[in-house]
Amino acid sequence: MLFALLSASLHEREVATLPFENCSPEDWRNCFQLACKHGVMALAWDALINLPKNLQPEKAIKLTWAAHVERYEQTYLRYCCCIDSLTRFYAQHHIQTMVMKGLAVSTLYPNPSHREGGDIDIFTYSANTDIMSHEEANALADRLMQEQGIEVDIEFYKHSHFFYQGVPIENHKTFLNVKSSQTAS
């Protein structure tokens, strides 16, 4: 069931109806729980609502599902506003911000707000290397957060971690994780 929903959602095509014939409310609850467990609940919803009404789950399950999807959408909007604000703040200090991984990848989805995310991964670098190096800009980005009274965890070699407007942010020190990369022999 879940695979059929995800396939239809991601490929933006009609849902194969065969997997949904004779589905019980328990089957739908299990599908919902599995979708939640794997962070694909909102993607599955996009296909579910396009199933013929007689193949859709009962109203209580649909209402629960819809409420969860709405929370995803609200979180996505909050994350977008947060990164916009942070990017503008850093730009005032000649720091460029590149959004990486989750939030950036979500723009490739049919409905970006339906990709579950946990934190925002960024890479900060100098807007002008005549003023400061990329490494200096990355360190300044963390210092600027500390000057705002935000606690910044800088202990991890790969990235710092802080909360900006209540959203978890990872400021990566490098664009590629070259320290743990291995070459083919």
- H/E stretch holding 170 reads strand 167-172
Give the pLDDT score at 177.
Answer: 66
Q: Is the pLDDT of residue 183 over 60?
A: no
Those residues whose C-beta lies under 8 Å from the C-beta of residue 59, and which sit 6 or more positions away, are: none
Angle 21-9-67 from CA coordinates, rounded to 5°: 85
pLDDT in tens, 114-147: 888 889 999 888 888 888 988 898 999 999 999 9
Cβ neighbors of 171 (< 8 A, separation 6 or more) are: 122, 123, 124, 138, 141, 142, 159, 160, 161, 162
> Could you tell me which CATH class the domain 79-172 is placed in?
alpha beta
Share of the chain above pLDDT 70, in %: 94
pLDDT band at 155 (very low <50, low <70, confident <90, very high): confident
Domain limits, the chain: 2-57, 79-172
Strand-pair partners of 173: none
Q: How confident is the model over 60-94, as pLDDT tens digits?
A: 999 999 999 999 999 999 999 999 999 999 999 99
